[in-house]
Chain A
Amino acid sequence: MEIVYVYQKSRREFGRPTTQFIDRPAELLDEFAPDPSIKDTQYELRNPTHLDVQAIPEMSEHDVNTESFSYASVGMLHAEGGWPKDIDWAEKDQTARFRKKVEKDEEYIREVKALADVVEHHIKQNNAIDIYEEYFTGEHADHSSEAPSAKTLSVFKDPNPVKRTVSSLSFHPDGGRKIAVAFSLLQFQDERADSASNQSYIWAVDNPNQPELEINPQSKLVCLEYNSKDAFLLAGGCYNGLISYWDTRRGSEPVESSLIEKSHRDPVYSIVWLQGKTAYECASTSTDGQVLWWDIRKLGEPTESLELISGDVTMGGVSLEYSAAGGPTKFMVGTEQGTILMCNRKGKSAQDKIGTVYSGHHGPTYALQRNPFFPKYFLSIGDWRHMLWSEELRTPIMTSAYHSAYLLSACWSPTRPAVFFSSKMDGTLDIWDLFYKVNEPTLTLQVDDDGLQAVRVQEGGVILATGSVDGSVYLMELCNSLAVQQPQEKQSMQQMLDREFKKEKNLEARAKELAKKAAKESEAQRDPTALQPTDEALKAVEQEFYDTIAEYEQKELEANRKD
Chain B
Amino acid sequence: MADVEETLKRISSHKGVIGALIVNAQGIPIRSTLSDEDTFAHAALITQLVAKARRMVVDLDKDDELTFLRIRSNKHEILVAPDKEYLLICVQSAQTQMDA
Is B49 in contact with chain A by the CB < 8 A criterion?
Answer: no
Which residues in window 1-43 of B have CB below 8 A to A?
A: 1, 3-4, 7-8, 10-11, 14-17, 20, 22-24, 26-31, 40-41, 43
Q: What are 19 pairs between A and B in contact, CB < 8 Å? A: A79-B44, A81-B23, A81-B28, A81-B47, A98-B28, A103-B30, A103-B31, A108-B85, A108-B86, A109-B1, A112-B7, A115-B81, A116-B88, A122-B70, A123-B92, A126-B77, A126-B92, A127-B98, A130-B97
Report Cα–Cα, A124/B44, bound state, in Å: 26
| A83–chain B nearest beta-carbon distance, Å | 6
B56 to chain A, nearest CB (A): 19
A114 interface residue (CB < 8 Å to B): yes
Cβ-defined contact, B16 with A127, below 8 A: yes
Classify chain A: how many residues form its interface, as a range: 20 to 34
Which 5 A/B pairs are nearest by Cβ-Cβ distance?
A82-B26, A81-B27, A115-B88, A81-B28, A115-B81
Instruction: Decide if B66 is an interface residue (CB 8 Å cutoff).
Output: no
Task: Kindly state the separation between the CA atoms of A119 and B92 in the bound complex, as whole angstroms.
Answer: 11
Q: B11 touching A119 by the CB < 8 A rule? A: yes
B28 touches A115 (CB 8 A): no
**A124, B14: Cβ atoms closer than 8 Å:** yes
For residue A113, CB closer than 8 A to chain B, the reply is yes
| Most chain B CB within a 10 A radius of its CB, from A78, A79, A119, A133 | A119
Residues of B within 8 Å of A120, CB to CB, are 10-11, 14
- Which single member of A81, A104, A118, A132 contacts B29 (CB below 8 Å)? A81
Distance of B28 from chain A, by nearest CB (Å): 4
CA distance A116 to B14 in the complex (A): 12
Contact with A along B63-98 (1 / 0, CB 8 A): 000011010100001010101111110101010011
Contact in complex: B30, A99 (CB < 8 Å): yes
Task: Find out whether the CB atom of B40 lies under 8 angstroms from the CB atom of A79.
Answer: yes
- Other than the given A81-B47, A112-B88, 17 more pairs (CB < 8 A) read A80-B40, A81-B29, A82-B27, A108-B4, A111-B84, A111-B86, A112-B4, A113-B4, A115-B87, A119-B20, A119-B90, A120-B10, A120-B11, A122-B70, A122-B79, A123-B11, A133-B98
The complex places the Cα of A103 from the Cα of B31 at a distance, in Å, of 9
Prevailing SS type, chain A contact patch: helix
Interface residues of B in 47-71 (CB under 8 A from A): 47, 67-68, 70
Chain B interface mostly:
mixed
The contact size tier of chain B is 35 or more
> At the interface, yes or no: A509 with Cβ under 8 Å from chain B?
no
Answer whether residue A77 sits at the interface, using C-beta atoms and an 8 A cutoff: yes
When the two chains form their complex, are residues A122 and B68 in contact, meaning their CB atoms are under 8 A apart? yes
**Contacts of B17 on A, CB cut-off 8 Å?**
123
Residues of A within 8 A of B29 (CB): 81
CA distance in complex: A130, B22 (Å): 26
Chain B contacts of A130 at CB under 8 A? Answer: 97-98
CB contacts (< 8 Å) of A127 on chain B: these are 14-16, 97-98
- Minimum C-beta distance from A130 to chain B (A): 4
Instruction: Tell whether A107 is near chain B: CB-to-CB under 8 Å.
Output: yes
Task: Return chain A residues, CB-CB under 8 Å to B97.
Answer: 126-127, 130
Give the interface centre of A77, A78, A108, A133 by most chain B CB atoms within 10 Å.
A108
A98 to B87, CA, bound (A): 17
Residue-wise, chain A 221-256 has the 8 Å CB interface mask toward B (1 for contact) of 000000000000000000000000000000000000
Judge whether A123 and B79 touch: CB under 8 Å. yes
CB-CB under 8 A from A83, the residues of chain B are 26, 28
Nearest Cβ in chain A — how far from B27, in angstroms?
A: 4
The 8 Å CB contact of A78, one of B15, B22, B44, B87, is: B44
Residues of A near B24 (CB, < 8 A) are 102
Give Cα distance in the complex from A80 to B8, angstroms. 22
* Chain B residues within an 8 Å CB radius of A114: 83
User: Looking across the interface, which residue of chain A has its beta carbon closest to that of B16?
Assistant: A127
List residues of chain A with CB within 8 A of the CB of B28.
Answer: 81-83, 98-99
State whether A78 and B27 are in contact (beta carbons under 8 Å apart), knowing that A116-B10, A123-B14 are contacts in the complex. Answer: yes
Instruction: List chain A residues, Cβ under 8 A from B44.
Output: 77-81
Chain A 4-18: CB-based contact to B (< 8 A → 1; otherwise 0): 000000000000000
Q: Taking CB as reference atom, which chain A residue is nearest B90?
A: A119
Contact A116–B16 (Cβ < 8 Å): no
A301 to B94, CA, bound (A): 52
Cα of A130 to Cα of B85 in the assembled complex, Å: 31
Q: How far apart sit A123 and B90, CA to CA, in the bound complex (Å)?
A: 9
Instruction: Give the CA-CA distance A79 to B85 in the complex, in Å.
Output: 19
Question: CB within 8 A of B43: which of A81, A98, A116?
Answer: A81
Judge whether A112 and B79 touch: CB under 8 Å. Answer: no
Roughly how many angstroms separate A104 CA and B30 CA in the complex, as a whole number? 11
